[in-house]
Structures are given as structure tokens and as C-alpha cells.
Amino acid sequence: MPDSKLNVLPDSRARVTRGVTTVRGANYVPIYCANCGAPGGGVSAEHMTFAFYLCNPCHEKWGPIAGTYAVPDEVFWEKVKQAQLETYGHILDADELAREADKPESVIAKLIREAPKGRGE
């Protein structure tokens, strides 16, 4: 039985899926800011059952969500980019990312585990 005092974040994917994009064989479902509805990129259709996104302007206006850790999107994604360049020598494509994410000790899998919760692109 769920805890009635537990605050659950809303899913930032639309109730009706529209606008799915395919990049190198991978499907991405659009996500939107949970506060204002601004577009927030996409998440893997095959690997996501939930996504929460709060855009930078809403984060700046409302501050961090209690009990979560927030890093501005640009800082996190720059860290991901630099880790890819240092480890692999190039930016990974969607297939390479998926393969690396499946390896528990890969740099990508470690970044996924330390990714700020409730943030996405």
C-alpha cells in the first residue's frame, strides 16, 4: 500500500504520445516541463517508463524540489560530453550510448546513475 504522505513527481511525457522521433533506429518520446509545459527534448521510448523534467527557467523561479539534487542541464550535459570525449575519443551515437549504458561499469552507466534526478533533456 503506497504511503499517503509520499509526494510523487508527475510524468513529463504526454498522456497521448505524439511527435516520436527516430534517431539512428532509436525512438524518442518528447517530454515537457512539469510546471510550464515547455518542450524538454526526448527520452528513449524503449528504455523509459517514467520521466520528470523541470526546465531551467522554472527551476530558477521555483528552486530545487525538496529531496532532490538539481544541476543545471548545461552543466550535466557538458560533463557527459567531456566524459565521452575523454573515454571514447568522440561523442557516442544512440546505438553506442545504449550499448555502453548496458555495461554496469562503463562511464556512461556511471553517469546515468549519478544523473540529477528529475532532470532530463
Average pLDDT, the chain: 82
pLDDT in tens, 1-17: 444 555 678 888 888 88
pLDDT in tens, 50-88: 888 999 999 899 887 777 766 566 677 888 899 999 999
The one-letter code for the residue type at 106 is: S
Residues with Cβ within 8 Å of 85's Cβ and at least 6 positions away in sequence, in order, are: 91
Ranges 15-24, 29-38, 81-90, 92-101: which has the least confidence: 15-24
**Contact call for residues 100 and 106 (beta carbons, < 8 A):** yes
Residues with Cβ within 8 Å of 45's Cβ and at least 6 positions away in sequence, in order, are: 17, 20, 26, 27, 28, 29
